[in-house]
Amino acid sequence: MRVRDTYRSWRHLTKESKLYLAVMFVLCEGKCPKCGVGMILSFTKEDECPRSATLDHINNLSYTEKHEKLGLTILCKACNSRKHKPEGGE
């Protein structure tokens, strides 16, 4: 199983991932560390919107090829999505 698939399974299927998200949400006082927007805490994919709190790897999985829980941070979905788009691209 690829690293990204392993992470995706962990993120969607474990209580531990939800606990990580909730703790990080409280620690950042519900504000995105990158843009400062007030985030929404949701635990289902259907409820996600640009302001939803998401977990993000500090070091890109493509480079590390390793999912480490201590290497996670929190960002709003909009910042997390922008991070993965090429420079100047839509």
Model pLDDT, residue 90: 44
Tell me the pLDDT tens digit for each residue of 35-70. 999 999 988 776 778 999 988 877 665 554 555 666
Q: From 89, 83, 87, 90, select the one nearest 34 (Cα to Cα).
A: 83
Model pLDDT, residue 79: 94
Give the residue extent of every domain in the chain: 3-83
Residue 76 has pLDDT above 50, yes or no: yes
Q: Which DSSP string corresponds to 38-77?
A: BPB---SGGG--TTBEEEEESS-HHHH----GGGEEEEEH
